[in-house]
Structure formats: C-alpha cells, structure tokens
Amino acid sequence: MSLFTRKSLLSLMLCTAVLFSGSALASTGVEKRPEVQQFIQDMVKQHNFSQQELTQLFSQVTLLPKVIASMNRQAEALPWHRYRKIFLNDKRIQAGVKYWQDNADVLLRAEQKYGVPSEIIVAIIGVESRFGEHKGDNRIIDSLTTLAIDYPRRATFFTNELKEFLLLAREEGFDPLTLKGSFAGAMGKPQFISSSYRQYAVDFNNDGTRNLMTSHEDAIGSVANYFRRHGWQTGEAVAVPAKVSGNDYKKWVDKGYQPKIALRDARNMGVSWNGSFPADEKGALIELEQKNGPEHWLALQNFYVITRYNHSQHYAMAVYQLAEEIRKRHVKMTTAAAM
C-alpha cells in the first residue's frame, strides 16, 4: 500500500522536483542518517511502505534544534503559582465561555454520549490550543524526526510517534509534508499526538473523516472519547482542597498523583477535607507551590484521568480550575440571559 494519496503524492513529486532543481537547495541529507535508514527499513518490512517514497519524504525533512530547546524548558517545570497564570486568566476564561456558547449543541451531545462534562472538554481545548487559535507552526514530520534521532532521552517514544504519524497520514489521506503542530508533534485543536489521534479520534460530525485540524465537532467528540476510554467517572469529583497537619501527610504527597491510598486511611495521616466520599475510594494528595507556601488538594480518579492527557499534576490542576471558572461564568451568563 502506498504511503500517499494521489493528491499528496503529486505534492511530494512537485516538491521533489523543486528540491533538485538548480535554483533550489540541495537535499537536507536527513535520509542518509543511519537512524533514519533503519527506520525506513523497519517501516517497509513491518508496514509495507515504499522505500523510495519514504526516502524522498525524509530527503525533505529539516531538523529543528529549537524543538530540542523547547523540550528542555517546558512550562510544567515552573512553580504552580507561575504556571497557573498562563492558563487561569480572564481572557482565556471568557474565550472558554464563548466557545461553549458557540458549540453548545455539540458539547451537550458529547457529554450525553461519553459522560464527560462540557467544561472539562472546553478547558482541554482552551489549554491545548486556545480554542483552536494556536495549533502550532512546526511541520510535524520535522519535529518528530528531530526528536526521534537527536533527543536520546525519549528517542524510543518519538520514534514510535513518527511511525504512528506516517500510519495516520496513510490512513487518513494526509500529506505528511504539510501538517503542522506543536514542537512535540501534537496536532489540531485538541493537540493529539499521532498515536492518540489514531486510537481515540472520532468522526463526530459524521462526514467520513476524523478532522481535528478544523472541525470543532470532531475535536470535541475526540476529547470526550479520550477521557471516557481512560476511565472518566461520570458525575464524580475531580479534586477538593485539603488541609494537612503533622508530618505523616508528606509520605502521601511523595506517592505522586495516582490515587493509591484509601480515604479511610487518609485522615490518620493528618489530612482533612470537606465533602463525603466512600471509605474505600482511593485518592492522591497533591502539593502545589504558592508564593506564601504550599497548598494541598485531595485528587481523585478523574484528576488522574486528566493526567493521561499530559502527565503533569500542574497541567491537570490547570485544566480542572479553568474548567470550574468557565463553568461558573457560563452558568452566570446563562442565568442572566434567562431572566
């Protein structure tokens, strides 16, 4: 099976003709890298790709040192009080309310089908791409190739994502030379990586394609499907503020954001919160750095599900708090309009 559709193959042929014309730059040489040659051989053997087409494709790839730099200075490393300000601001909250209003019917349909609240879906798209306004300007093929061969710490992961990207391009009829996304290769309004796109994206507007680039319907449905498939518990809490005393609670903090301790045992560790939960329900204790000292939250299963989108407790808390602010303002505006 060919990697390309007729349209994308024509595009590749035209680009290749220009690439080798007298007025154009010479081949980038990426296709000659041993890692790339091995990758091409693997794709030919394991997935029936054309060696010639892949060689032509990689001859047009440009390695991006800025991608490596971006990987080494991600926002999630910031202290919470600084990270929070990136996403929790009036402009993004108001944009979230408008996005909800503009897509109310689709969000309601997604909530009814997948059990994920509208505000969570909206917040994810708001954090990821500012509601579709900032989807990334790096060619995905460039970003993923750079990370696969020049970022040893996560080379295995990004080599797999490069494979997933080429499979996705073949399945969906995308031109792999034109798709753009984030420095890490995420794409579309919800910023799905290629493996997530293949596994969790849905055709929510029933037009025969899974289009996360321009379709709000597909983006909304795909986010909801992603959360349901990762164990979202409909109607259950995400996180609640907690108070701590003594020193035993620190052992719980050290266990990370995955719910591991039954709540019946938590109060014996000097942790308290408002609200009632089943004694055998498991939770995590999150510590967030504020300017005047740490604050603590009891994080439950739905909080952990959010971290499946981005493995950071800062990210999950930003999504949750943004969702809450958007929900509150949306309810207020809806109530006012009904009066």
* Cα–Cα distance for residue pair 27/16, rounded to 1 Å: 9
**Using the 8-state DSSP alphabet, how is residue 268 labeled?**
G
pLDDT of residue 259: 96
pLDDT classification of 23: cutoffs 50, 70, 90:
very low
pLDDT in tens, 251-266: 999 999 999 999 998 8
Tell me the three-class secondary structure of 126-167, residue by residue: HHHHCCCCCCCCEEHHHHHHHHHHHCHHHHHHHHHHHHHHHH
Separation CA 19–CA 62 (nearest Å): 13
Is 66 domain-assigned?
Answer: no
Q: Across all residues in the chain, what is the average pLDDT?
A: 91
> Measured between alpha carbons, how far is 169 from 172 in angstroms, rounded to an integer?
5
Residue 262 lies in a domain: yes
Residue 27: its pLDDT value, please? 44
Secondary structure (H, E, C), 70-83? HHCCCHHHCCHHHH
For residue 154, pLDDT beyond 70: yes
pLDDT (average), residues 180-184 = 95
Catalytic residue among 128, 161, 164, 217: 128
Number of domains in the chain: 1
Instruction: Note whether residue 285 is domain-resident.
Output: yes
CA–CA separation, 324 and 234 (whole Å): 16
Tell me, what's the pLDDT at 4? Answer: 54
Asked whether residue 247 is domain-assigned, the answer is yes
> pLDDT for 264-276, tens place per residue?
988 789 999 999 9
pLDDT > 70 in the chain, percent: 92
Q: How much is the pLDDT for 333?
A: 86
Whole domain around residue 287: which residue ranges? 239-299
Q: What are the pLDDT digits (tens) for 52-79?
A: 999 999 999 999 999 999 988 877 788 9
Assess if residue 252 is contained within a domain: yes
What pLDDT is stored for residue 192 in this prediction? 98
217 is catalytic: no
Q: Is residue 228 part of a domain?
A: no
Judged by phi (left if over 0) then psi (alpha if -120 to 50, else beta), residue 270 lies in left
- Residue 286 forms part of a structural domain: yes
pTM: 0.89
Burial label for 215, CB within 10 Å (0-12, 13-18, 19+), is buried
d(CA 136, CA 191): 9
- Encode pLDDT of 43-53 as tens digits: 999 999 999 99
Residue 26: is its pLDDT beyond 80? no
Measure the CA–CA gap between 285 and 253, rounded to whole angstroms. Answer: 5
Which is nearest to 222 in space by CA: 231, 213, 212, 230?
A: 212
The pLDDT score that the predictor gives to residue 336 is 83
Does any domain span residue 28? no
